[in-house]
Amino acid sequence: MTDISQRELGITQQGHYAGAVSRLVAFCCDQAIATICFSIATASLTYLIVVITPDNYKLEVPPTLLSSIYVFWLFLYYSYPWSTSGKTAGMAILGLRVVQRDGSQTTLRCGVLRTVMFPLGFITFGLGFIGIITNREHQALYDRIAKTTVVYDWDARGARLRFLARNAAPSSPDYLESQAIESPNEPV
């Protein structure tokens, strides 16, 4: 393998199985985003209720109801994106995507099943996540059950080429100099 092809292979990671660190960071981003959105929604709803109701009305929401609504929100937050696009907001930030084991787009069944089985990683005291480190396909327990895997979706080489093309504007001195070197016999 030539030096150039090895370098190009190192630049792109698209389609490779995602590692434990990038998946953990994506999960932390998703939890932060989901919790912030839920907090903003509940605070806005509480404010609206306080403004509409009389002054002597005191709003008391049972903690179990609030927790149940939060769990339902998390279910929607994860299952809908995993079913449609294969990635949540945190995964999109890090360039990850959930796909079926054969590499095809996830279905509604895969997304919902993966979301329902996701807590198994925590319920088993972290043993459900061991497969991300030890398995060749980096599959957690819930990935194996849902027949999914997480891959890198961000094409670093394509992004680099777009960045370089954007920076090489026709009016730049480097571009003009390279054009003069490539075609010295053409009249200017």
Q: Is the pLDDT of residue 55 over 90?
A: no
Q: Is the pLDDT of residue 152 over 70?
A: yes
- What average pLDDT does the segment 32-52 reach? 93
Q: Is the pLDDT of residue 134 over 50?
A: yes
Return the top range by mean pLDDT from 79-83, 122-126, 181-185: 79-83
Q: Is the pLDDT of residue 11 over 80?
A: no
pLDDT at 127: 93
pLDDT at 52: 87
Between 179 and 80, the higher pLDDT residue: 80
Percentage of the residues of the chain whose pLDDT score is greater than 70:
74
CA proximity to 105, closest of 127, 85, 78, 126: 85
Percentage of the residues of the chain whose pLDDT score is greater than 90:
61
pLDDT at 57: 73
With cut-offs at 50, 70 and 90, classify the pLDDT of residue 157: low
Q: Is the pLDDT of residue 95 over 60?
A: yes
